[in-house]
Chain A
Amino acid sequence: GENVEQHPSTLSVQEGDSAVIKCTYSDSASNYFPWYKQELGKRPQLIIDIRSNVGEKKDQRIAVTLNKTAKHFSLHITETQPEDSAVYFCAASMFSGGYNKLIFGAGTRLAVHP
C-alpha cells in the first residue's frame, strides 16, 4: 500500500522568510497530491493540490512542486506571515477497491515568528 513520509516534523521561521515542506510517496500509481492546513482545534482545510500530469502549481504565496520520477512533492510558502502558523499535512491518493482514498503524511508544525 501507499506510504507517505513528510519532513520536517517542525519548522520555525521568521516572518517574511520562506518555508518548504517535503513529502515522498511509495506508490507510483498515485496521481493526486493535496496539501492541508490544520489550525489548532479546527478541521483540516485543503489549501492546494496537484495532479501527476503537472509539475508545479501556484496560488498566491503558496506553490507545490511534483517530481514523479523521484516520487516526491513539496509545499513552498513565500513571505510567511504569523497566520501561516499551523500544522500542514501532505497526502497522496491510492486507488483501492474501486475508488481513490488519501493517505496522509505525519504532518509539519510550522511556527512563524513576528
Chain B
Amino acid sequence: SAVISQKPSRDICQRGTSLTIQCQVDSQVTMMFWYRQQPGQSLTLIATANQGSEATYESGFVIDKFPISRPNLTFSTLTVSNMSPEDSSIYLCSVPGQPTNEKLFFGSGTQLSVL
C-alpha cells in the first residue's frame, strides 16, 4: 500500500478563517479522495480529485466551501473555507491501491477544531 502523509495532523482554528490540508503520496496515483468524519460518525466522501481536472464534489459539498487542488499525481490539498464550529471533524485523504484500484488506503487524518 502507498504511504500517505497528511499535514497538519491537528489544528484549532477561529470561526471565519480557512485551513488548507496537504496530502502527499509516495507513489503516483490517478485519483485521490477526500473524506470527512464528524465526531463519532462515519466517513463521508467530500470530493474526488483527479490530476489536471476539476474535482468532482458529492451532494452537499461545494467548491466554494471546500476548494481542492491537485497539481500533480502525488499531491493534493483540501481547503476548509470560512470555517464554523460545524466544520469540526477529522478530514482524511485516501488513495486506491494497485493494481485493482479498489482497495482504499487512508492518510493519518487532520483533526480540525473550530472555536
Contacts and interface: CB of A to CB of B under 8 A. Distances in A.
A49 B105 CA distance: 13
Contacts of B103: 34, 46, 49
Contacts of B92: 43-44
Interface string A1-38: 10000000000000000000000000000001010000
Contact of A99 (B42, B48, B107, B109): B48
A26 to B, nearest CB: 15
A107 B101 contact: no
Name the residue in A44, A49, A93 with the highest tally of chain B Cβ atoms < 10 Å from its Cβ.
A44
A62 interface: no
Interface string B21-58: 00000000001010000000111110010000000100
Contacts of B101: 99-100
Contacts, number: 46
A107 B105 CA distance: 17
A62 B105 CA distance: 19
B42 A107 contact: yes
Interface residues of A, number: 22
B108 interface: yes
Nearest to B102: A32
Interface residues of B, number: 21
A58 B102 CA distance: 19
A104 B102 contact: no
Contacts of B42: 89, 104-107
Name the residue in A34, A49, A102, A103 with the highest tally of chain B Cβ atoms < 10 Å from its Cβ.
A102
A3 to B, nearest CB: 12
B48 A101 contact: yes
Interface string B67-107: 00000000000000000000000001000100001111111
